[in-house]
């Protein structure tokens, strides 16, 4: 491990696929730009943030999402030279992103952001640590011991990576921890694409956005109100044509216009 400053260290991680990923630890938000530079990712480029279902994705939900990742998200990230940012563990939507990248033979950077104390790495012997998704190219390990501690860091990493380029957050499925992810993206002025039909939080948010005035649990109300008042939400139904999804997301990433996805 190379110590670059009092807040930052850089090292290599050998993953189960035989690949080696670059990793850094960072202890302060002020060190994010240095962390990104240490990973060789400096420079403004479009960023896609993936948040949502992790260990609680049902097998049917997982299977239905595979096509979206393999036919839409990973190919579009490759086409547009995006950086994709997620939570980095080998479960749920993070696993889907990593496997889609590997299946495509893609080259776009895939950056996992997770609490150091939750990462199963040689430097952390904790039995509660979780395996890293082995197709990720980079990892940023941040302070925290609970899931959700990484949420503001994911948003901050995405903002630092994108610079003046456009970015968007994709919500698929998700539970209570994903509320924090959505709130953090909105706070960083990043539009959130809610994929309806993927279950749990995504469907709950989609229903609330489509039917204003309906009953919403207290922890969701301020997130919806703030999002609609500022960056806004875009909705896409998983049962609709994926071509429509790609067109809307491509337009946003290329032109910085509002996301043009299905609202119905």
User: Over the stretch 68-108, which tens digit does the pLDDT of each residue have?
Assistant: 999 999 999 999 999 999 999 999 999 999 999 999 999 99
Above 50 in pLDDT, residue 6? no
The pair of three-digit structure tokens given for residue 84, joined into one six-digit string:
């994709």
Instruction: Quickly count: other Cβ atoms within 10 Å of residue 66's Cβ.
Output: 13
Render pLDDT for 39-77 as a digit per residue (tens, 0 to 9).
Answer: 999 889 999 999 998 877 778 878 889 999 999 999 999
Residue 260: exposed, middle, or buried by beta-carbon count in 10 A (0-12, 13-18, 19+)?
A: middle
Site of tokens 């994926």: 242
pLDDT-based confidence at residue 36 (cuts at 50, 70, 90): very high
Q: Which domains does the chain have, with CATH numbers?
A: 2-255 (3.40.50.450)
Rounded Cα distance between 208 and 216, Å, is 7
pLDDT-based confidence at residue 263 (cuts at 50, 70, 90): very low
What whole-number percentage of the chain has pLDDT above 90? 62
């Amino acid at each position: 491990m190379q110590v670059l400053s009092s807040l930052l260290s850089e090292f290599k991680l050998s993953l189960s696929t035989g690949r080696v990923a670059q990793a850094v630890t960072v202890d302060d938000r002020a060190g994010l730009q240095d962390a990104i530079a240490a990973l060789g990712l400096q420079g403004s480029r479009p960023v896609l943030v993936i948040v949502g279902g992790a260990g609680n994705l049902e097998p049917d939900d997982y299977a239905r999402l595979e096509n979206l990742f393999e036919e839409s998200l990973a190919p579009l990230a490759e086409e547009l030279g995006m950086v994709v940012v997620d939570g980095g563990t080998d479960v749920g939507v993070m696993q889907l992103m990593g496997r889609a990248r590997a299946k495509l033979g893609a080259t776009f950077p895939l950056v996992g952001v997770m609490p150091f104390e939750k990462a199963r790495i040689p430097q952390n012997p904790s039995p509660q640590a979780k395996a890293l998704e082995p197709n990720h190219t980079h990892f940023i390990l941040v302070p925290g011991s609970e899931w959700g501690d990484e949420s503001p860091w994911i948003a901050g990493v995405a903002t630092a990576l994108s610079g003046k380029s456009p970015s968007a957050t994709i919500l698929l499925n998700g539970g209570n921890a994903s509320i924090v992810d959505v709130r953090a993206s909105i706070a960083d002025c990043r539009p959130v694409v809610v994929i309806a039909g993927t279950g749990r939080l995504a469907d709950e948010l989609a229903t609330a956005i489509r039917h204003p005035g309906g009953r919403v649990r207290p922890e969701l109300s301020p997130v919806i109100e703030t999002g609609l008042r500022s960056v806004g939400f875009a909705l896409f139904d998983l049962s609709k044509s994926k071509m429509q999804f790609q067109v809307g997301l491509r337009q946003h990433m290329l032109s910085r216009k509002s996301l043009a996805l299905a609202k119905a």
